[in-house]
Amino acid sequence: MDAVLLARIQFALTIGFHYIFPPLTIGLGWMLFVYHTLYRKTQSPVYRQLAHFWTKMFAINFVVGVATGITMEFQFGTNWAAYSRFVGDIFGAPLAAEGVFAFFLESSFLGILVYGEKKVSKTVYWISSLMVALGATLSAFWIVVANSWQQTPAGYEVVDGRAVLTNFAEAVFNPSTVVRYLHVVAAALVVGTFFILGVSAWMVLKKKHGDFAKQSLKSAFIPCMVAIVIVMGVGHPHAIQVAETQPAKLAAFEGLWETQTNAPALLFGIPNAEEERTDFALEIPGGLSMLIDGTTTREVQGLKDFAPEDRPPLGITFFSFHSMVYLGVWFFLIAFGGFVLLKMGKLYENRLYLMAATLTVPLPFFANELGWIAAEVGRQPWVVYNELRTSNAISASVPPGQVLASIIMFTLIYALLFGVWWFLLKRQFNKGPESIESIKGEVE
Amino acid sequence: MLALQIIWFLLVGILIIGYAILDGFDLGVGFWHLFAKKKGERSAFIESIEPFWDGNEVWLLTGGGALFAAFPPVYATVFSGFYLALMLVLLGLILRAVAIEFRNKVDSPGWTKAWDYAFAFGSILPSILFGVAIGNVLRGLELNEIGDYTGGFFALLNPFSLLCGLVGLAMFAMHGALYLSMKLEGEIAADARRWASRAWMVFVVLFMVATIWGALGFFYNITAVPLVLALFAVLASVSSFVFNRAGRAVAAFVSSCETIVFTMLAVAAALFPYMVPCTNNPDWSLTINNSSSSQLTLTSMLVIALIGMPIVLAYTVFIHRVFKGKVEVREE
pLDDT at B15: 93
B95 contact residues in A (CB cutoff 8 A): 413
φ/ψ of B112, rounded to 5, equals -60, -40
Q: Are the C-beta atoms of residues A225 and A375 closer than 8 Å to each other?
A: no
Mean pLDDT, residues A34-54 taken together:
92
Hey, is B221 helix, strand or coil? coil
The arithmetic mean of pLDDT across residues A303-319, rounded, is 89
Say whether A70 and B57 touch across the interface (CB within 8 A): yes
Name the band, by pLDDT with cuts 50, 70 and 90, for residue B1: low
CB contact under 8 A, B66 and A96: yes
Closest partner CB to B297 (pick from A73, A89, A108): A89
pLDDT tens digits for range A160-205:
889 999 999 999 999 999 999 999 999 999 999 999 999 999 999 9
B190 touches chain A (CB under 8 A): no
- A-B contacts at Cβ under 8 angstroms: 220
B62: which chain A residues are within 8 Å (Cβ-Cβ)?
96, 99-100, 103-104
Q: What is the ipTM of this complex?
A: 0.89
**pLDDT reading at B167 higher than 80:** yes
**A116/B69 CB distance under 8 A:** no
pLDDT higher than threshold 60 for residue A443: no
**Which residues lie closer than 8 Å to A379 by C-beta, 6 or more apart?**
A150, A151, A246, A249, A312, A385
Percentage of the residues of chain A whose pLDDT score is greater than 90: 66
Q: What is the mean pLDDT of residues A132-149?
A: 95
Lowest-confidence region among A204-218, B129-143, B215-229, B236-250: B215-229
A103·B62 Cβ contact <8 A: yes
User: Contact B318/A67, CB-based, under 8 Å?
Assistant: no
Determine the pLDDT at residue A410: 94
pLDDT tens-digit map of A200-253 = 999 999 888 888 899 999 999 999 999 999 999 998 889 889 988 998 998 888
How confident is the model at residue A372, as a pLDDT?
A: 95
Residue A307: how many other CB atoms lie within 10 Å: 8
At B219 the pLDDT is 67
* Cα separation values, A314 from A2, A251, A373, Å: 21, 9, 12
| A361 — pLDDT class (breaks 50, 70, 90) | very high
| Mean pLDDT within A286-296 | 82
pLDDT digits (tens, 9 = 90+) for B277-322: 998 888 999 999 999 999 999 999 999 999 999 999 998 899 889 8
B90 in reach of chain A (CB within 8 A)? yes
Pairing between β-strand A299-300 and β-strand A260-261 as defined by DSSP bridges: antiparallel
Question: Which residues are CB-neighbours of A239 under 8 A, at least 6 positions away?
Answer: A250, A253, A291, A292
Domain boundaries of chain A, sorted by first residue: 3-259+301-443
Record: contact A96-B60, CB cut-off 8 A: no
3-state per-residue secondary structure call for chain A: CCHHHHHHHHHHHHHHHHCCHHHHHHHHHHHHHHHHHHHHHHCCHHHHHHHHHHHHHHHHHHHHHHHHHHHHHHHHHHHCHHHHHHHHHHHHHHHHHHHHHHHHHHHHHHHHHHHCHHHCCHHHHHHHHHHHHHHHHHHHHHHHHHHHHHHCCCCEEEECCEEEECCHHHHHCCCCHHHHHHHHHHHHHHHHHHHHHHHHHHHHHCCCCHHHHHHHHHHHHHHHHHHHHHHHHHHHHHHHHHHHHCHHHHHHHHCCCCCEECCCEEEEEEEECCCCEEEEEEEECCHHHHHHHCCCCCEECCHHHCCHHHCCCHHHHHHHHHHHHHHHHHHHHHHHHHHHHHHHCCCCCCHHHHHHHHHCCCHHHHHHHHHHHHHHHCCCCEEECCCEEHHHCCCCCCCHHHHHHHHHHHHHHHHHHHHHHHHHHHHHHHHCCCCHHHHHHHHC
- Is 80 exceeded by the pLDDT of residue B332? no
Mutate to test the interface with B, among A57, A83, A108, A145 (most CBs of B within 10 A): A108
Burial pattern B41-50, b for ≥16 Cβ within 10 A else e, equals bbbbbbbbbb
Q: What DSSP element (H or E) covers B67?
A: helix B53-70
Which of B73, B86, B94 minimises the CB distance to A68?
Answer: B94
Mean pLDDT of all residues in A324-335: 94
Segment B30-89, tens digit of pLDDT: 999 999 988 889 999 999 999 899 889 999 999 999 999 999 999 999 999 999 999 999
Give the domain ranges of chain B.
3-322
Q: What pLDDT is recorded for position B107?
A: 86
pLDDT in tens, B179-227: 999 999 989 999 999 999 999 999 999 999 999 998 888 766 667 888 9
User: What number is the average pLDDT over the span A409-434?
Assistant: 92
pLDDT for the residue B124: 96
CA distance B309 to chain A (A): 7
Chain B closest-CA separation from residue A214 CA (Å): 26
Picking from A63, A95, A398, the nearest residue to B80 by CB comes out as A398
